[in-house]
């Protein structure tokens, strides 16, 4: 069988690139690029180039800097200096073209602006019109012979020059060009003798500056040359019909050329490339039919700025731009327009353009599904141009490599035609077109010229479609019979032979079968090497499992030695990726048949599809265990499991979107709860994978060849990526649930602030709708969400609730009278306290460290202050001063000149009848000792009141001006010995206290605008007492600053 195979494959090594010899590698590659990179061995990874280990983001950044940005600048330059109309039916503005290339090249707004500025700063090109005068037909005959000696003069004329010429002419003149433009701007073609259908094929490059106001002028003239008298007499004798023409010739001036016609074209009316016949127009109405002239016109650039993409040829840039457009938006007309402009401005030939398109589309065909007819069309264009233009050597090599590579890839597809092109009306035409392309490649002169080796496509196609399934099936049946025979020898016959004649028949038979099976396996696998496909791999899988079972029986051998089937797995390495892919594809198909969230189902915490998915994942894990591959990392399928879970996540989202469109609010909320629970269930399944797949055992078996960091960065990284996707979707779903709750909470809070409800309802009644709503919704979420997701929902909901209260409080601060604002803040404070207890849930909800956030503390302080009366605020202010006095460290005494001390009891509403007292003035004393006593008649209730304190103020006496402020101190009356006693009935229960101790107070200076309470008092314009107290404290702050 092996020898027959080699005789059939006579076409091997015949398909070669131009630079390969006859001894190079064979035709077939292992397989086309598979959709999933599976089964990459460790040895192959060790042979990789080090550059492949580069960070993908860094690699993409370098590619953008080195490749994309130069091409982007070329396109910006092309758009800025475009001339003519494109051949496409739709005309695009510069902004539309800029937007398209920004999307195609994935440029950010900042990158686009930066590159646009650099492109605008470049030198503009020289605008040129490349005019090719091809031929003319049917022109007038001006000579006696009835023919003419035509020649053309062409130029580009500005409108200003043309109008100036018309004004300067005193009489009509046939020539416009000669009178309007200097001689250095006029180009003249060759003179064609005695013809009415001249052929020139001459090309001229005409430079101009103003595109909008310029015209192309062509004038055709008949050259008048001196003719001898003898020749004229001969003409008369031979043609009497030319007598009239000869008389006219005699009347005109000698040496004057005859005007044959003209062509005038506005540049702004032309396309960027024109190839048309134009009528020769007369100067007057005489002879209106003067024939036609065939012109090829093209707008090009000269002296194009070389800094845009230094060192790159226009063809290389065109290929790069085309490749980027093909990868981005192949069907957009903007791409065709830009490619046409760039090719025209750089004078790229149609052959080079078609070559670039063939190379780009043939590469795209190997990665995406592209219409094969496009390839056939480009291939036909290449063949058409091959005979008309000689390609440079570099482009010849590129064309040869492209044809060679596509032929190899096409034959690989043909060898897998059963899987790639199913027998249905949609796919069989694709196979037919592919075969036509392969035939056309082999027929082209380019392929025959660039690939010198003989190549028979018929033989190669026949070889590619050879069916190897029957060979594998025969091997499978043989191994099954051998496996059964080995089992019988081990279980039954071996005991008989050992007991009777002491012969270990199992060992003898096993070693014989081991040798024969190993040889047969190697011969069969060598036939299918390089031709693996899914069907063939599926047939090989039972063979692999049978051989594995046979190898496991070696444990019963009495004498151990080297066996032929040792490491038999190496022969199946090519099939391994297909086995893994089959398991993945099967699971993916079953996943797509699942129906997540069946509508109308009873509310449950998990949908049946999530449970089914976990069951689908199990066969993948079991397959990994069943393979027992020598290199566990190579056959590891964690990526498959993660990908299936992520696909299910996307399927679940799409299903929710479909069902929610026709569902009420309650059903949509229920579905979202099930979605969140399903995703959480899958996340827990992924979390258990390391244990289920025995990562610890895998780590032990690979520790000698894989470093700790590499192992950690491979498996945990994939797992963490899948878990992060699930976590992101869980958070997104919880955010959706939370948004509706936040909206309802805000509505309830704002309803509490309406003017109608403030006087009519108590604080408890106003907050009751919100609390009942929250209790109902949170109870529902707790019942329908798993605990992890419910806890995840509470934290953002609490944060947003605090934000809503803060926003509403700030918005209503300026829209209420003081009384209404105070009531509203009391309600908000009560609501905040109720929310705190609700989310705390008696210790079963959120912990206090999360509840008491900085924003919560700020909101509570704000609401507490705004809900107090002005006198309560004064008490709070004084309590703060007393506390500040207690924690303030002692300071050194300041030098005073004429000090005295003022003592007063505050706040005034608690001590309305107590007057301030002052000590005597100590003149010129740096350390005054007053030794004075003062008595204040106050009650114990006043002393124990909130904020009650003794304010001690030190002044420096000034005879001429106001006394200078030197500092103040605050002593809380509750801290005075004896005040802390208990009340018994209506009398104070006095207990003997220690001797009153001296209290040392440090002087303090108030900081300007440092207290929120004072600002709040100032804002209460309608309360005179609040304004007076705030004014008093502000004056004290001012005195303090002046003293300092």
Same domain, 787 and 723: no
Domain assignment present for residue 218? The answer is yes
Give the CATH number, domain containing residue 1034.
2.60.40
Note whether 550 and 603 are same-domain residues.
Answer: no
Asked whether residue 325 falls in the same domain as residue 371, the answer is no
| Residue 630 pLDDT grade (very low, low, confident, very high; cuts 50, 70, 90) | low
Q: Are residues 326 and 388 in the same domain?
A: no
Same-domain status, 519 and 595: no
Question: Which of 191-200, 564-573, 666-675 has the lowest average pLDDT?
Answer: 666-675
903, β-bridge pairs: 917, 952
Q: How far apart are CA 680 and CA 690, in angstroms?
A: 17
- Number of structural domains the chain divides into: 7
- Say how many Å lie between the first and final Cα of the chain, rounded: 111
pLDDT (0 to 100) of residue 265: 93
Going by pLDDT thresholds of 50, 70 and 90, the confidence category of residue 605 is very low
What is the structure's pLDDT at 76?
92
Percentage with pLDDT > 70 across the chain: 65
Q: Which of 665, 700, 730 delimits the end of a domain?
A: 730
pLDDT, one tens digit per residue, over 860-880 is 777 766 766 667 767 777 777
**48: in domain:** no
Domain boundary among 539, 562, 585: 562
pLDDT in tens, 367-392: 877 777 888 888 888 888 888 888 88
Backbone conformation region of residue 194, classed left if phi is above 0, alpha if psi is from -120 to 50, else beta = left
pLDDT at 543 over 70: yes
pLDDT at 691: 67
**In terms of C-beta distances under 8 Å and separation of at least 24 residues, what long-range contacts does 764-770 make, across chains too?**
764/830, 766/827, 767/827, 767/830, 767/831, 767/834, 770/745, 770/831, 770/834
Specify whether 376 is located in the same domain as 517: no
| 616 pLDDT tier (thresholds 50, 70, 90) | very low
395 and 535 assigned to the same domain: no
What proportion of the chain, given as a percentage, has pLDDT over 90? 10
- Which band of pLDDT confidence, cut at 50, 70 and 90, is reported for residue 39? very low
User: Looking at the structure, do residues 885 and 988 belong to the same domain, yes or no?
Assistant: yes
The two three-digit tokens of residue 403, written as one number: 């044809």
The per-residue pLDDT for 702 is: 58
**Share of the chain residues as helix, strand and coil, in percent rounded to the nearest 5:** 55, 10, 35
Nearest-angstrom CA–CA distance, 885 and 876: 14
What is the pLDDT, as a whole number, of residue 701?
58
Q: Convert the pLDDT of each residue in 711-751 to its tens digit.
A: 666 566 666 766 677 677 767 777 777 777 777 777 777 77
DSSP calls for 135-202: EEES----STTS-B-EEEEEEEEEHHHHHHHHHH-SS--S-SHHHHS-GGG-EE-PPPPSBSS-EEEE
Which is nearest to 346 in space by CA: 272, 271, 268? 272
Question: 635: domain CATH number?
Answer: 1.10.357.50
Q: Which token pair is 12?
A: 């091997």
Report the pLDDT value the prediction gives residue 168, as an integer from 0 to 100: 53
Q: Which of 384, 372, 385 is nearest to 438 (CA)?
A: 372
Has residue 336 been placed in a domain? yes
Please, are residues 498 and 546 in contact by the beta-carbon 8 Å criterion? no
Q: What is the pLDDT of residue 43?
A: 33
- In a domain, residue 13? The reply is yes
Backbone angles phi, psi at 994, to 5 degrees: -70, 165
* 29 and 64 co-located in one domain: no
> pLDDT: is 752 or 199 the higher one?
199
Q: Note down the domain range covering 527.
A: 469-562
Classify the phi-psi angles of 947: left when phi > 0, otherwise alpha if psi is within -120 to 50, otherwise beta.
left
Distance CA 1003, CA 899 (A): 13
Burial 864-882 (b: 16+ CB within 10 A, else e): ebbbbebbbbbbbbbbebb
- For the stretch 208-243, what's the b/e string if a residue is b when 16 or more beta carbons lie within 10 angstroms of its beta carbon? beebebbbbbbbbbbebeeeeeeeeeebeeeeeebe
Q: pLDDT of 200-249, one tens digit each?
A: 999 999 999 888 889 999 999 998 875 555 555 555 555 555 555 555 55
What pLDDT is recorded for position 4?
A: 37
Same domain, 85 and 146: no
Four-point Cα dihedral 511, 513, 515, 521, nearest 10: -150
Which of these ranges, 52-61, 65-74, 187-196, has the smallest mean pLDDT? Answer: 52-61
The candidate with the shortest Cα–Cα distance to 556, out of 589, 592, 510, 497, is 510
Q: Is residue 741 part of a domain?
A: no
Q: What is the DSSP string of 370-408?
A: --HHHHHHHHHHHHHHHTT-PPPHHHHHHHHHHHHHHHH
Calculate mean pLDDT across residues 936-964: 81
| DSSP code, position 65 | I
Q: Rounded to the nearest 5 degrees, what angle is found at the Cα of 315, between the Cα atoms of 135 and 105?
A: 125
Peptide bond into 722 cis (omega under 30): no
Non-local (6+) Cβ contacts of 899 within 8 A are: 921, 922, 925, 928, 954, 955, 956, 957, 966
pLDDT score of 794:
76
**What pLDDT does residue 238 have?**
54
**Is residue 384 included in any domain, yes or no?**
yes
DSSP state of 893: P
User: Would the pTM of this model clear 0.85, i.e. be above it?
Assistant: no
Residue 935 predicted with pLDDT over 60: yes
Which carries the bigger pLDDT value, residue 56 or residue 819? 56
What does the pLDDT read at residue 253?
Answer: 52
Q: At what angle do helices 314-328 and 69-80 cross, to 10 degrees?
A: 100
| CATH label of the domain that carries residue 242 | 2.60.40.150
* 355 vs 378: CA distance, rounded Å: 8
821 has a pLDDT exceeding 90: no
Mean per-residue pLDDT over the chain, rounded: 73
- Distances in whole angstroms, Cα of residue 774 to Cα of each of 5, 229, 768: 79, 120, 10
> For residue 706, what pLDDT is reported?
60
The pLDDT assigned to 218 comes to: 94
Check whether 94 has a pLDDT greater than 80.
yes
Among residues 148, 151, 140, 159, the alpha carbon closest in space to that of 186 is found at 151
Say yes or no to pLDDT of 167 above 70: no
Q: What is the pLDDT of residue 244?
A: 54
Same-domain check for residues 1034 and 889: yes
Question: pLDDT class for 695, splitting at 50, 70, 90?
Answer: low
What pLDDT, in 10s, does the model give residues 275-312?
999 999 987 776 778 899 999 999 999 888 888 887 78
Residue 391 confidence (pLDDT): 86
For 792-802, what is the mean pLDDT? 78
Last residue of a domain, one of 730, 765, 795: 730
Residue 694 has pLDDT above 80, yes or no: no
Q: What is the mean pLDDT of residues 449-476?
A: 72
Contact 76, 115 (CB under 8 A): yes
- Pick the more confident residue, 396 or 590: 396
- Least trusted range by pLDDT, from 213-227, 753-767, 801-815, 934-948: 753-767
pLDDT tens digits for 50-67?
444 567 888 888 888 888
Three-class secondary structure assignment of 894-955 = CCCCCEEEEEEEECCCCCCCCCCEECCCCCCCCCCCCCCCCCCCCCHHHHCCCCCEEEEEEE
Q: Please, which contacts does 272-281 make with residues 24 or more away whose CB atoms are closer than 8 Å? A: 272/82, 272/83, 272/84, 272/85, 272/86, 272/87, 272/298, 272/299, 272/340, 272/341, 272/344, 272/345, 273/84, 273/87, 273/297, 273/298, 273/299, 273/340, 273/344, 274/298, 280/136, 280/139, 280/220
Confidence band for 939, pLDDT divided at 50, 70 and 90 = confident
Average pLDDT over residues 882-911: 72
> CA of 164: how far to CAs of 159, 213, 915, in Å?
8, 14, 105
The helix (H) or strand (E) run that includes residue 206 is: strand 199-208
CA proximity to 399, closest of 418, 423, 381, 417: 381
Q: Which residues partner with 292 through β-bridges?
A: 137, 279
- Predicted confidence (pLDDT) per residue in 989-1037, tens digit: 545 554 566 777 778 878 776 667 776 666 676 677 776 777 777 777 7
11-38 residue pLDDT tens: 333 233 333 333 333 333 333 333 322 2
Position 760 in a domain: yes
Q: Same domain for 340 and 372?
A: no
| 570 falls within a domain | no
């Amino acid at each position: 069988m092996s020898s027959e195979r080699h005789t059939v494959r006579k076409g091997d090594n015949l398909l070669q690139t131009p630079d390969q010899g006859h001894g190079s590698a064979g035709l077939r590659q292992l397989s086309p690029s598979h959709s999933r990179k599976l089964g990459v061995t460790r040895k192959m990874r060790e042979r990789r180039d080090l550059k492949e280990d580069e960070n993908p983001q860094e690699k993409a950044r370098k590619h953008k800097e080195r490749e994309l940005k130069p091409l982007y600048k070329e396109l910006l330059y092309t758009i800025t200096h475009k001339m003519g109309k494109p051949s496409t039916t739709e005309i695009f503005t510069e902004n539309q073209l800029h937007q398209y290339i920004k999307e195609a090249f994935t440029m950010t707004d900042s990158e686009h602006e930066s590159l646009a500025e650099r492109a605008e700063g470049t030198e503009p090109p020289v605008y040129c019109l490349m005019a090719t005068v091809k031929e003319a037909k049917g022109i007038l005959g001006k000579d006696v012979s009835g023919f003419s000696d035509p020649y053309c003069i062409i130029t580009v004329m500005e409108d200003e020059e043309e109008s100036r010429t018309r004004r300067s002419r005193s009489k009509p003149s046939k020539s416009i060009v000669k009178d309007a433009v200097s001689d250095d701007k006029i180009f003249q073609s060759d003179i064609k003798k005695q013809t009415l259908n001249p052929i020139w094929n001459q090309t001229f490059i005409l430079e101009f500056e103003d595109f909008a106001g310029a015209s192309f002028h062509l004038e055709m003239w008949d050259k008048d040359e001196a003719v001898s008298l003898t020749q004229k007499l001969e003409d008369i004798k031979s043609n009497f019909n030319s007598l009239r023409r000869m008389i006219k010739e005699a009347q005109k001036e000698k040496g004057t050329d005859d005007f044959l016609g003209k062509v005038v074209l506005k540049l702004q009316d032309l396309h960027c490339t024109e190839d048309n016949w134009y009528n020769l127009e007369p100067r007057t109405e005489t002879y209106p039919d003067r024939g036609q002239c065939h012109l090829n016109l093209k707008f090009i650039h000269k002296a194009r700025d070389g800094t845009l993409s230094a060192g790159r040829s226009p063809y290389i840039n065109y290929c790069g731009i085309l490749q980027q457009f093909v990868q981005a938006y192949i069907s957009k007309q903007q791409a065709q327009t830009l490619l046409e402009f760039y090719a025209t401005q750089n004078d790229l030939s149609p052959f080079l353009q078609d070559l670039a398109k063939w190379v780009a589309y043939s590469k795209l065909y190997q990665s995406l599904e592209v219409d094969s007819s496009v390839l056939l069309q480009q291939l036909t264009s290449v063949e058409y141009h091959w005979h008309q233009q000689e390609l440079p050597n570099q482009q010849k090599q590129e064309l040869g490599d492209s044809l060679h590579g596509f032929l190899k890839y096409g034959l690989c597809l043909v060898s897998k035609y059963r899987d790639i092109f199913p027998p249905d009306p949609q796919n069989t035409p694709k196979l037919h077109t592919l075969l036509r392309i392969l035939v056309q490649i082999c027929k082209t002169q380019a392929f025959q010229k660039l690939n010198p080796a003989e190549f028979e496509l018929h033989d190669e196609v026949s070889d590619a479609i050879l069916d190897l399934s029957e060979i594998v099936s025969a091997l499978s049946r043989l191994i099954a019979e051998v496996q059964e025979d080995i089992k019988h020898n081990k279980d039954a016959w071996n005991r008989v032979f050992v007991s009777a004649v002491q012969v270990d028949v199992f060992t003898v038979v096993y070693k014989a079968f081991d040798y024969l099976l190993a040889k047969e396996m190697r011969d069969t696998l060598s036939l299918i090497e390089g031709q693996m496909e899914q069907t063939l791999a599926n047939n090989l899988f039972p063979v692999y499992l049978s051989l594995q079972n046979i190898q496991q029986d070696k444990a019963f051998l009495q004498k151990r030695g080297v066996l032929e089937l040792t490491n038999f797995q190496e022969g199946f390495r090519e099939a391994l990726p297909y086995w893994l892919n089959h398991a993945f594809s099967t699971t993916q198909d079953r996943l797509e048949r699942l129906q997540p969230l069946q509508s109308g189902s009873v509310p449950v915490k998990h949908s049946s599809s999530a449970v089914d998915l976990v069951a689908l994942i199990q066969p993948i894990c079991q397959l990994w265990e069943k393979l027992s591959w020598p290199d566990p990392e190579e056959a590891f399928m964690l990526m498959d499991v993660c990908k299936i879970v992520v696909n299910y996540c996307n399927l679940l989202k799409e299903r929710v979107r479909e069902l929610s469109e026709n569902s009420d609010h309650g059903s949509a909320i229920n579905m979202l709860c099930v979605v969140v629970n399903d995703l959480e269930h899958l996340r827990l399944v992924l979390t258990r994978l390391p244990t289920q797949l025995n990562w610890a055992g895998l780590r032990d078996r690979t520790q000698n060849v894989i470093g700790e960091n590499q192992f950690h960065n491979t498996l945990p990284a994939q797992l963490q990526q899948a878990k992060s996707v699930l976590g992101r979707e869980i958070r997104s779903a919880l955010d959706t649930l939370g948004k509706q709750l936040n909206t309802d909470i805000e509505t309830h809070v704002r309803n509490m602030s309406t003017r109608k409800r403030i006087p009519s309802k108590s604080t408890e009644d106003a907050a009751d709708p919100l609390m009942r709503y929250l209790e109902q919704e949170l109870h529902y979420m707790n019942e329908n969400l798993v605990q992890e997701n419910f806890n995840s929902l509470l934290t953002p909901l609490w944060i947003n609730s605090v934000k809503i209260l803060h926003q509403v409080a700030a918005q209503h601060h300026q829209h209420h009278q003081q009384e209404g604002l105070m009531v509203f803040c009391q309600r908000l404070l009560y609501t905040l306290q109720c929310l705190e207890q609700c989310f705390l849930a008696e210790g079963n909800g959120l912990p206090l460290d999360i509840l008491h956030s900085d924003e919560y503390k700020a909101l509570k302080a704000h609401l507490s202050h705004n809900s107090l009366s002005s006198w309560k605020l004064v008490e709070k202010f004084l309590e703060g001063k007393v506390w500040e006095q207690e924690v303030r460290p002692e300071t050194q005494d300041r030098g005073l000149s004429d000090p005295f001390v003022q003592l007063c009891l505050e706040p005034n509403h608690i001590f309305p009848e107590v007057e301030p007292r002052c000590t005597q003035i100590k003149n010129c004393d740096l350390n005054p000792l007053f030794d004075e006593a003062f008595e204040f008649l106050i009650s114990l209730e006043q002393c124990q009141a909130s904020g009650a304190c003794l304010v001690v103020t030190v002044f420096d006496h000034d005879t001429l001006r106001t006394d200078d402020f030197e500092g103040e101190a605050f002593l809380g009356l509750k801290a005075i010995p004896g005040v802390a006693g208990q009340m018994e009935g209506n009398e104070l229960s006095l207990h003997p206290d220690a001797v009153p101790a001296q209290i040392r107070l440090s002087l303090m200076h108030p900081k300007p605008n440092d207290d929120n309470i004072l600002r709040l008092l100032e804002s209460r314009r309608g309360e005179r007492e609040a304004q007076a107290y705030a004014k008093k404290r502000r004056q004290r702050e001012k005195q303090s600053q002046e003293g300092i």
